[in-house]
Amino acid sequence: MSSRDSRSIPQRIAQFSENYGAQTFSLFGSIALAIAGILPSVQQGQGWIWLNNTVYGRVFMLGAFFSVIGGAVSIISAPGYKSQQERIRFLEGELASKTKALENELVIQKKVLENELSARKKGYSRILNDELKVLTRILNFGNNDRLSLYRYDRRERRFIMIARHSSNPRFKQPGRVFYPEDSGCIGKAWEQGSCFVDLPEPGTEQYYRVHEELWNMNRQTVDFITMKSRTIGGISLENLSGERIAVLIFESTRNKAFRENSIKNLMNNCGEAARITYLLERVGKIEPDLIYAHEEGF
């Protein structure tokens, strides 16, 4: 059993006007226009009796009747302004809820894809690091030696270190993120195809002077380098099209630790350069981008 409406008559009228005011005004407006059309006949002395005695009058009354009934039905059946507003708020709430659920799903999917991509890129790094590890054994490199592989970024015209190996944990750590294409032994090896130098004792004026004259590296940059090499060499790596794509750097804190001819013979004649280049080409689709390299410390 429904409870009795406790609202006052003015409140009910106000509520009705809010919900159905537009339809009500439209109905009475139509009736007023129709009546205005017959007033000239009434004013000419015919009175209202002609409504029942003439065909035109009967048609008018029939039309007015259907207009009133139709308007009333329209008012009763049409949703009011308030109910429409409530419906809109409900739909907005549903939309917000579904949007939030979709956003959460997208976040989850993004995280899954990021994890998969990270795993693939770490696999890429492991492949190249393992290859450098094998090469250090072939070269009999020990605690004073290191190998580093730098990929050339043609868009930014700089190098990114993508793999490094050394038996010494301190030398194995990543250094700078980016390396200019015209700086250091990397730049010379890239430009000339190879670069091998025996360096003076670290910390001496001659050591700084050689770095500045040969590789355009100032004192501050040299001091920042963790591994103060006495012997350093680099070889550029080319793909099957003869295009240079990377530079492999050999370093040692030992004086005259290796010979240029021995390194070149191993890399070119024994196929080590071709093998590393093959790996770079084969796994190129999952190669770390600049952002990933930065996150990994390279």
End-to-end CA distance of the chain: 77
Q: Write the pLDDT tens digit of every residue in 78-121.
A: 555 567 777 788 888 888 888 888 888 777 777 766 665 555 55
pLDDT of residue 180: 87
| Residue of higher predicted confidence among 281 and 263 | 263
Q: Which of 273, 240, 245 is nearest to 152 (CA)?
A: 245
Q: Write the pLDDT tens digit of every residue in 31-68.
A: 665 665 555 555 455 555 656 666 556 666 666 666 66
Q: Which of 231, 224, 246, 296 is nearest to 132 (CA)?
A: 246
Residue 93 phi, psi dihedral angles, 5° rounding: -65, -40
Please tell me whether the overall predicted TM-score, pTM, comes out greater than 0.75 for this model. no
Mean pLDDT of the chain: 78
Residue 219 phi, psi dihedral angles, 5° rounding: -60, -40
Q: Which of 149, 206, 192 is nearest to 174 (CA)?
A: 149
